[in-house]
Amino acid sequence: MNKIIVAIDGYSSCGKSTIAKALAKYAGYTYVDTGAMYRAIGLYTLRHGLTTEAAILAALPKIQIGFILADGAQHVTLNGEDVEAHIRTLEVGNRASEISQIKEVRAFLVAQQQQMGLQKGIVMDGRDIGTVVFPQAELKLFLTASPEVRAQRRFDELKEKGGQPVYEEVLKDVNDRDYRDTHRAESPLRQADDAIVVDNSHLTREEQMEVIYKHFENACK
Ligand code: DC
């Protein structure tokens, strides 16, 4: 069967990575979480106290992002260190959103992402995969869910990790991040013209995957 590229874009916390992982497993494809790459750079800038754009750009050549398989899951590495446990906080998410607005940071990561897709057989999720990274992807999915549903999901996730989130703050964070992701000058989040929209506000995981597997099978024909 033909190997294809699957590009999954959408707002934060609408389950992109869960869906992308499940589809990659179903298809026997490689999964790439591009948000983790932006988060790893965000973590680097926080750790090194880099706040200006000039300082961040000067540091880029010193940053190496990779992926490893650990305990059966994909973990992102920053200069060889497994940083998966450190990148899922609100602080790192917000910094990732900020640094993702810098043109050179995007070019730095987009080049690496395009390299990863050369052999096809890849499911990549992010914000600009169907529009910038792989405009030629055979299957483009654009996921959405209401801000309230996404805030509740993120709230549950943070709580499960032992945090003490406040729902109103999480909702504000979701709305702020949506605004930044869709209004930035560089590659703003937008639906590719040929993307298939999946609103999962009211779908169970199983219902949603059924829809997505069907789209995948059709795209492979
Ligand atoms: O999907 P996520 O929440 O892990 O992404 C973290 C941030 O990185 C998000 O605010 C937007 C940015 N991002 C991006 O600009 N482009 C991508 N392809 C992936 C993520």
* Ligand 1 contacts CB of residue 93 (under 6 A): yes
Quick check: 1 pLDDT over 80? no
Domains of the chain: 5-219 (3.40.50.300)
User: Which atom number of ligand 1 is nearest to the Cα of residue 88?
Assistant: 4
Answer whether 124's CB lies under 8 Å from 130's CB: no
* Ligand 1 contacts CB of residue 10 (under 6 A): no
Q: How far apart are CA 140 and CA 6, in angstroms?
A: 6
pLDDT, position 72: 84
* Ligand 1 contacts CB of residue 184 (under 6 A): no
Q: Report how far ligand 1's centroid is from the alpha carbon of 35 (Å).
A: 4
Quick check: 181 pLDDT over 90? no
| Average pLDDT estimate for 84-91 | 93
Quick check: 213 pLDDT over 90? yes
* Ligand 1 contacts CB of residue 100 (under 6 A): yes
Pocket test for ligand 1, best of 97, 106, 173 (most atoms within 8 A of CB): 97
Q: How confident is the model at residue 62 (pLDDT cuts 50, 70, 90)?
A: very high
* Global confidence as pTM: 0.92
Q: How confident is the model at residue 220 (pLDDT cuts 50, 70, 90)?
A: very high
Residues 6+ apart with CB under 8 A from 196: 139, 140, 141, 142, 215
* Ligand 1 contacts CB of residue 95 (under 6 A): no
Pocket test for ligand 1, best of 43, 105, 108, 127 (most atoms within 8 A of CB): 127
pLDDT, position 206: 94
Q: How confident is the model at residue 171 (pLDDT cuts 50, 70, 90)?
A: very high
Mode of pairing for the β-strands spanning 73-78 and 196-199? unpaired
pLDDT digits 0-9 by tens, 96-155: 989 999 999 999 999 999 999 999 999 999 999 999 999 999 999 999 999 999 999 999
